[in-house]
Structure 1
Amino acid sequence: MDNNSTLRPELVWIDGRCYRFCDSGAWSKDRGTAAYQEESMYLEDDYDSDEDSASEEFDVQPYNGKFKHTFYLAKPFFPFLIGTKGSTRKRLETETSTSIQIPKLGQNGDIVLVGPTRQKVIMARHRIDNLIKTSRKKLYYTHFISIPTNCESVQNGFQKFKESVLAINEPMRGVEEKIFQNPKKMHLTIGMLVLVDSTEREEAVRALEYCKENIIAPAILKNGPLLLTVQGVDYMNDDPAEVNVLYAKVHSKDNVLQELADQISDHFFELGFLRKDADKVNLHITLMNTKFRIPEDDRRGAQRVTFDATKILKDFHVHRLIRIQSLVNLH
């Protein structure tokens, strides 16, 4: 390459952009005149590059010389897919070279993707799935998976705990009868769910039936009746003097309950219905919660007033409430 070509490289114009290129022959040979593309915010690994496996994962059909894929999406997610003034849909369409058809405002229906290749359609579907997974985290919980623990023996044990706490003859800021759990609603929480419509609720019921047959039943058959010990108390923040939730800790022989809960949680997480803040489920039964001060219809976004649980934690850190035998249920 001589000095003249270095100082005066050929100017290459592509889609209105000007580039200086020293070796125009190499450009012409290897690059052709492909349109300039901005770097994508997504990784190519976001979709399966193998056409056969992509077709197996999603039903992609030939359509007027292109390819088409239709799938169900709950209506509450339409605004997330559309974005402000259609910006999100436009960006996805541009980056995946597809068209995304969404039912009109107020209407139900399927999402339809049309693109020039199977890979482009699959890419669009995967990016929509990732978008919905992120968007679901912004929605309020609607359901939860639990083990009911409101049998008479547990209610009696809880009532004794409540009476003992209220009888403590020391100042405990914020401790009052209102923040104690209703004994009839006592349960062991496995996971919180976001189910936005009847279709997702039906799918969650089928998922729970799957867990019953493939996770719970085999464990019960192998280990026999599941005995749970409710012993000790703990709290859900880092300051015992500023507590919102105080709960009883739950234990089972050979850690069977923990394994069951983790497997159920993992299954619902894979379906996209459950949020996970940790690898393992925190097995607990709520005893006191500051949201109980607030009327149920006003709890969303309401300011909560904490209570001082220091004395309770000291007195009941090894206190045994009851031993119970339970079944898993969906609420």
Structure 2
Amino acid sequence: MDNNSTLRPELVWIDGRCYRFGDSGVWSKDRGTAVYQEESMYLEDDYDSDEDSASEEFDVQPYNGRFKHTFYLAKPFFPFVIGTKGSTRKRLETETSTSIQIPKLGQNGDIVLVGPTRQKVILARQRIDNLIKTSRKKLHYTHFISIPTNCESVQNGFQKFKESVLAANEPMRGVEEEIFQNPKKMHLTIGMLVLVDSIEREEAVRALEHCKENIIAPAILKNGPLLLTVQGVDYMNDDPAEVNVLYAKVYSKDNVLQEIADQISDYFFDIGFLRKDADKVNLHITLMNTKFRIPEDERRGAKRETFDATKILKAHKDTKFGEFMLSTIHISQLHSQSSNGYYEITGSIIC
């Protein structure tokens, strides 16, 4: 990795927000072995150096004439803090004048920072936090925030759509039954998550409860129960004859659902669990996806055969699949299936 690019990553401005363009690599499929590179060490000026405000956020205590801060970090992130042959930890320690104690290989535990001043300890913690945000991008998604849309009316509408497409008089390239969604798993995705252990999963569930109290409940109090209408189809690329994903669109009065989804996405992004590829959540219900042709354990990096959706888009541009009331939002486990056919639930809220 080029040292200049890691020290000063490319800044991209989107709709008035600034994003750092980080590495898009991923961990090895073997979760026990981390494939990592040297992480960027940001400059001290990147952080708020106000000791009083930072001390309120981080519990820094006097310790044998120095200062100490202890915090939990999930074990999969230890290799990123240590670096190749300990180089990342040594650099952090040198630049912040602290010592960084990390549990031994294979063990869980807390990170302990010890330094000469509160400010140095806080700086070390801030740099580790930003290091983890960057490192999380290297891990595979484990969960997602979902709104189940597998109610009876939408499932019935989907089944009629599927039968119509498969019964078309003229064949459409690549269109076959195996690329259609499982109706029991129909859902809206608000955001993809990386939750590496039980503690992070518990934190994510608490974050969803926070969103209920501070985002969802106020919106429903103001606008009333939220009726969602599933109508029309669209696709995720720029050529209707070369489509991988075809989806149904979702509408709500005064665009309230979009506002709720965007605020939930922003909150989970701010606490470090969610990655954002765009400023707004793309609210959609997948109807057809070419990855369904490929076994789940072979999908990563596999070449996909597109299908021609031109006639489907024309025939079903205004097709109404159904309506339902927003009632629950879940943190769902990827690549899972519960007894009712939907994804396994890590946590959920009633709206």
Q: TM-score, with normalisation over the residues of structure 1?
A: 0.84
**Structure 2 CA distance for aligned equivalents of residues 74 and 180 of structure 1:** 37
**Structure 1 CA distance for aligned equivalents of residues 169 and 83 of structure 2:** 57
**Structure 1 CA distance for aligned equivalents of residues 328 and 191 of structure 2:** 12
After TM superposition, give the deviation of residue 105 of structure 1 in Å.
Answer: 0.7
Q: Displaced runs of 4+ in structure 1, greater than 4 A?
A: none
Q: List aligned pairs for 1:128-139, cutoff 5 A.
A: 128-139=128-139
Q: TM-score, with normalisation over the residues of structure 2?
A: 0.79
After TM superposition, give the deviation of residue 218 of structure 1 in Å.
Answer: 2.3
Q: What does residue 148 of structure 1 align with? A: 148
Q: What does residue 72 of structure 2 align with? A: 72
Contact 2:143 2:193 in 1 (8 A): yes
User: Is 1:95 aligned with 2:95?
Assistant: yes
The one-character-per-residue Cα deviations of 1:125-160 (angstroms, maximum 9, x if unpaired) are 111111110111111111111111111111100001
After TM superposition, give the deviation of residue 327 of structure 1 in Å.
Answer: 1.8
Q: Helix, strand or coil for the counterpart of 1:238? A: coil
**Structure 2 CA distance for aligned equivalents of residues 171 and 109 of structure 1:** 59
Q: What does residue 211 of structure 1 align with? A: 211
Aligned pair count reads: 292
Residue type of the alignment partner of 2:231: Q
Further displaced range: 126-135 or 160-169 = 160-169
Contact 2:41 2:127 in 1 (8 A): no
After TM superposition, give the deviation of residue 328 of structure 1 in Å.
Answer: 3.0
**Structure 2 CA distance for aligned equivalents of residues 78 and 306 of structure 1:** 40
| Structure 1 residues 220 and 41: CA distance shift in structure 2, 3 A | closer
Q: What does residue 184 of structure 1 align with? A: 184
**Structure 2 CA distance for aligned equivalents of residues 114 and 83 of structure 1:** 19
Q: What does residue 126 of structure 1 align with? A: 126
User: Is 1:168 aligned with 2:168?
Assistant: yes
Further displaced range: 188-197 or 314-323 = 314-323
Q: What does residue 242 of structure 2 align with? A: 242
Q: What does residue 341 of structure 2 align with? A: none
After TM superposition, give the deviation of residue 41 of structure 1 in Å.
Answer: 5.5
User: Is 1:232 aligned with 2:227?
Assistant: no
The one-character-per-residue Cα deviations of 1:24-44 (angstroms, maximum 9, x if unpaired) are xxxxxxxxxxxxxxxx95233
Please report the RMSD computed on the Cα atoms of aligned residues, expressed in angstroms. Answer: 1.6
Residue type of the alignment partner of 1:202: E
**Structure 1 CA distance for aligned equivalents of residues 150 and 189 of structure 2:** 13
User: Is 1:60 aligned with 2:60?
Assistant: yes
Q: Helix, strand or coil for the counterpart of 1:322? A: strand
Q: Helix, strand or coil for the counterpart of 1:175? A: coil
Gaps of 5+ in 1: 1-39
Residue type of the alignment partner of 2:66: K
Residue type of the alignment partner of 2:59: D
Gaps of 5+ in 2: 1-39, 333-351
Contact 1:48 1:119 in 2 (8 A): no
